[in-house]
């Protein structure tokens, strides 16, 4: 699942009315987005499930330590080829 889909789900959550008070607060919406991300990451907790190095790094940064089984700093070597590639992705996504 791509982050665009997650953003769309988060937008729906933010737009959903909650009782008489209107929409969810910004803080609640951020928590909802994080929960959706955690759910998506939990659903693909294997290197076989990662189709790109960015997905592998997201899983690894999200707590899937087995992604870097040999401890060389490169998760899911089936999709990630170099440490510099991984470092660039980590910097871009804020990991």
Which of 12-16, 35-39, 72-76, 87-91 is least confident? 12-16
Phi and psi (nearest 5°) for 17? -70, 145
34-84 tens-digit pLDDT: 766 665 555 557 899 999 999 999 999 999 989 999 999 999 999 999 999
The domain of 92 spans 47-95
Q: Are residues 52 and 82 in the same domain?
A: yes
pLDDT of 91 over the 90 cut: yes
Mutual angle of helices 3-15 and 26-43, in 10-degree steps: 140
For residues 33 and 70, state if they share a domain: no
Same domain, 32 and 66: no
How far, CA to CA in Å, does 27 sit from each of 4, 8, 24, 57? 20, 17, 8, 26
Same domain, 19 and 58: no
Asked if residue 31 has pLDDT above 70, the reply is: no
Rg (CA), the chain: 16
**What average pLDDT does range 17-39 have in this prediction?**
61
E strand residue ranges, 1-95: none
Q: What are phi and psi of 19, to 5 degrees?
A: 55, -140
Considering the domain architecture, whether residues 38 and 56 belong to the same structural domain is answered as no
Tell if the pTM clears 0.75, that is, is over it: no
């Amino acid at each position: 699942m791509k982050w665009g889909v997650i953003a769309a789900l988060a937008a729906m959550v933010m737009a959903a009315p909650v009782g008489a008070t209107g929409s969810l607060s910004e803080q609640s919406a951020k928590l909802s987005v994080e929960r959706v991300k955690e759910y998506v990451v939990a659903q693909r907790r294997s290197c076989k499930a990662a189709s790109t190095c960015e997905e592998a790094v997201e899983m690894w940064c999200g707590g899937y330590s087995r992604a870097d089984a040999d401890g060389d700093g490169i998760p899911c070597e089936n999709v990630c080829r170099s440490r510099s590639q991984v470092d660039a992705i980590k910097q871009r996504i804020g990991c």
